[in-house]
Amino acid sequence: MGITVSNTKRPEPQALASTLEALAARFGNRLITSQAVRDQHAHTTTWLPRSRRMQW
Amino acid sequence: MAQETADIQDAVRICARYRVPVIAFGTGTSLEGQVNAPAGGVCIDLRDMNKVLEVHAEDLDCVIQPGITRKALNEYLRDQGVFFPIDPGADASLGGMASTRASGTNAVRYGTMRDNVLALKVVRGDGEIITTGTRAKKSSAGYDLTHLFVGAEGTLGIICELTVKLRGIPEVIAAAACSFETVRGACQATILAIQTGIPLARIELLNAAQVRACNAYSKLSLPETPLLLLEFHGSENEVAEQSRNFSEIAKECGGGEFSWTTRPEDRNKLWQARHDGYWAVKALRPGAGVVATDVCVPISRLADCVTETEADLERLNLQSPIVGHVGDGNFHCSLLCDVDDADEMARGEDFMHRLVQRAQGMGGTCTGEHGIGQGKQKYLEPELGSQAIDAMRAVKQAFDPQNIFNPGKILPAL
């Protein structure tokens, strides 16, 4: 159908930096980037590794 | 940390501007990697959006925010004589439950999230809000967007409000237990009970290995053979009649002693043991990981599927107690594996692959309630065909052309 979904491409570092800057301006200290909170949100009840990109 | 819908809208607009992935997070209790971030990105935690906005007890519905958990919702509703029936075990958020099309032990009577969501509000990729329905019990108005978003795993937009159905709290609740010599006998009793119209509220199968685990963990003394746990809802007379009718069916199917009770403490003990099933399994082999997976087959094939699965476990020298929402033909394997043991993990992967193929070969599905997430993407096409996958890709493209919503989930990468 001509539709492609390259669905695990990471954003460019500059895009991420700009996003974080805009989110910080909008949300102040409700934007959390600490490793501990990021780990907490990556630690779920799935057995699949958090960094897993592809299925078997 | 979103606190209101406008927060989600603004966060999505910012992420869309820079094409950065955005992943909604409820309680993190999904099982197939649904909230993993394989491409990084921004996680929107919805736990503070946990308000009940409206309750319409006379219409048996309510309007809620996505971060409220099912236990919190039922606490809120209790004094109004109504409850929300879907119980996936974990105290999951309602937004997450809708997104994974969750169900659980009550589905045989009350259905799944598919049957209990009336309408949604969803933030789309440009930050605008889609309203998918109303509080009306039925509607013929256009495409059914509600059920497109239910089960979409956050890949099409972010749910910011739900209207869900409620039920009256039953006058009497009875719990019952009945052991069987074989899984087939337990399944046959279930089929007959459903065919004869006994309105079972819950009917759960534990295989012998799971009963052993529950006995050890919850200090029970149940016979270590296949077991059915049941729940009946209704008036005192209705519950007594349902219990009596089921006990006669169980006897015909090789069931042992049938015991039932309406005492809350006895009921809770049985169901707590069932809900602690995961921890009971984990305690069988301290230090091992529990790999949870589920499949669902037509109920007439459940006994075959469970029996063949047990034989496969034996052949592969793997340990995995089995519990099933037997009224729906849905069962779970809790595979105990040393995740650092490559050989055991390989055998575990082989087992799960064969489990899915077995279920699909019996006219069933690769997942009854856990969802596709990352773990089961490769099984979609064998189950539904390439044309269906093309249609799903077209839907994804239409709602999320930049592919920012929870990328890497449901649809296999091309």
Quick: pLDDT tens for B164-199.
999 999 999 999 999 999 999 999 999 999 999 999
- Regions of chain B where pLDDT drops below 70: none
Choose the mutation target among A32, A48, A51, A53 for the interface with B, i.e. most B CBs under 10 Å: A48
Residue B119: strand pairing partners = B163
DSSP B221: -
Positive or negative, the Cα torsion across B310, B313, B318, B324? negative
Q: Which residues 307-346 in chain B show a CB within 8 A of chain A?
A: 339
Buried b (16+ CB within 10 A) or exposed e, B122-148: bbbbebeebebbeeeeeeeeeeebbbb
ipTM value = 0.85
| Facing residue for A41 by CB, picked from B25, B40, B90 | B25
Residue A33, burial from CB neighbour count under 10 angstroms (0-12, 13-18, 19+)? exposed
For residue B410, which of B42, B156, B146 has the smallest C-alpha distance?
B156
Q: Nearest chain A Cα to B3, which residue?
A: A30
Distance of CA B71 to the CA centre of its chain: 15
Contacts of the segment B72-77: beta carbons below 8 A, 24+ positions apart: B76/B52, B77/B52, B77/B166
Distance separating alpha carbons of residues B101 and B112, to the nearest angstrom:
7
The residue with tokens 């746990």 is: B229
Q: Which of residues 60-79 of B touch A (CB under 8 A)?
A: none
DSSP H or E stretch at residue A21: helix A13-27
Q: What is the pLDDT of residues B51-83, one digit of tens each?
A: 999 999 999 999 999 999 999 999 999 999 999
DSSP symbols for B78-144: GGGTEE-----SS--BHHHHHHTT---TTHHHH--HHHHEEEEEEE-TTS-EEE---S-S---SSS-
Instruction: Indicate if the alpha-carbon torsion angle B160, B161, B164, B170 is positive or negative.
Output: positive
pLDDT digits (tens, 9 = 90+) for B300-346: 999 999 999 999 999 999 999 999 999 999 999 999 999 889 999 99
Lookup result for tokens 């919702």: B73
Amino acid B255 reads G
Amino acid B194: pLDDT: 93
Residues of A in contact with B35 (CB under 8 A): 41, 44
Enumerate the residues of chain B whose CB falls inside 8 A of the CB of residue A10: 39-40
Q: Give the integer Cα–Cα distance in Å for B211 and B207.
A: 6
Does A55 contact B412 at a Cβ distance shorter than 8 Å?
yes
Nearest to A45 among B28, B43, B403 (CB): B28
**pTM, full prediction:** 0.92
- B291 in contact with A at a CB cutoff of 8 Å? yes
Tell me the CB-side half-sphere exposure of residue B115, using CA atoms within 13 A.
Answer: 14
Q: Does residue B393 come out as left (phi exceeding 0), alpha (psi in the -120 to 50 range) or beta?
A: alpha
